[in-house]
Amino acid sequence: MRQSVPRSASESPAAGEESYVLPSFVTLRLLTILVAIDETGSLSGAAKRLGMTQSAISQAVLAFEDMLGKSVFDRSLRPSAFTLTGRLILKHATPILDLTKQLEHALRFSSQTQLSVLRIGILDTFATTVGPFLMEEIRPIAASWSIASGSRETKINALIEHRADMVITSDETPCPPHLTSRLVLSEPYFLVLPRSQKVSFTDLATLSSRMDFIRYGQGRSITRQIDDYLKDNGVIPPHTYQFDGVDAVIGMVAAGLGWAIATPLSILKARDKVNELRCEPLPGPQLFRTISLVSHDGEAAAIAERIRLPILRVLRERTLPELLALLPHLAKLTRIEDAS
């Protein structure tokens, strides 16, 4: 049955007008569940995203429909689909949730005192090589840190969806107007070959025909950039090997199973394999990876600036000297942004 809510005389509906007030139990959590079902396409997908069981999701939806007195899903269809009522709720739910997240974000950064928690996504090669020294310097900014280095959590979209407060990323997706990107590092790509095998080649097509190309996992910015570069140079290697982690790719090359394209930070992350590798410049045009610190505008931008300066200092004083010692002929192409 639909929940009945008393109205004052001034709120009395006009003749023939249906009286309806949205039940007070409708919470942001319920709206979040409906939006998650819509975006993932299923109850199971919503459950996975929200960290709930599918049964809990289903029970919440049924309770919602029972109290609402209207169906949100048309279960006569396979698969079930949102009814017109469900679509109407979704239309309003998304902006409500967006505004709520924006308010939460603004309140978290509204004070210059220490933040209670800071959520930051850091590119995995950056997190491993630069992260430990960086955290020593920026630790006082927040009482608690939530740091993720997965490909999903280090993309621009993590900020748009308010899953992170800022990201250190190589994602080159254009930033929407409410985000600010600050370039911190530009590093060259180069060939990585097994030292144990002497392969002669003059171009990437020849190399690809003589050795297997080892790819990074899908969903990574580095994968898309390298694939586009190879395609532009007329090279489309077969999908023989593909590994999610940088360490696995470099390990495969070191074992003599193929060749790859990497950056100085990638080799620094897997430095224990460097004696088993041969690193050479790309035979074609140069290719660079840019790493940026991206945050929301407003007060969050001030926090991001407090983090950017230590990043540049650590890169210049610790990371670059390590790279030059490890890869002197290639690391010299690495460029660190000016602190001004």
Tens digit of pLDDT for each residue in 202-236?
889 999 999 999 998 887 888 899 999 999 988 88
Contact, 134 vs 310, CB < 8 A?
yes
Cα separation, 193 vs 117, whole angstroms: 42
| Buried-exposed string 103-115: b where 16+ CB fall within 10 A, e elsewhere | eebeebbeeeeeb
- Residue 112 carries which side chain, given as an amino acid letter? Q
With 70 as the cut, is the pLDDT of residue 50 above it?
A: yes
With 80 as the cut, is the pLDDT of residue 275 above it?
A: yes
Q: Which of 230, 217, 317, 331 is nearest to 271 (CA)?
A: 331
- Token pair, residue 296, equals 């929301």
Predicted pLDDT of residue 117: 84
Predicted pLDDT of residue 161: 85
Which residue has better confidence, 7 or 30?
30
Q: What is the mean pLDDT of the chain?
A: 85
What is the chain's alpha carbon radius of gyration, rounded to the nearest angstrom?
26
Cα separation, 175 vs 31, whole angstroms: 27
Q: In sequence order, which residues have a C-beta less than 8 Å from that of residue 98 and are 6 or more positions away? A: none
Predicted pLDDT of residue 27: 74
Cα separation, 194 vs 256, whole angstroms: 5
Tens digit of pLDDT for each residue in 17-40?
454 555 554 578 888 888 889 888
**Structural domains present in the chain:** 21-97 (1.10.10.10), 109-183+291-323 (3.40.190.10), 190-285 (3.40.190.10)
Contact, 121 vs 154, CB < 8 A?
yes
For the whole prediction, is pTM greater than 0.75?
A: no
**What is the percent of the chain where pLDDT is above 90?**
40
Tens digit of pLDDT for each residue in 243-264?
888 899 999 999 999 999 999 9
Most confident of 138-142, 276-280, 299-303: 276-280
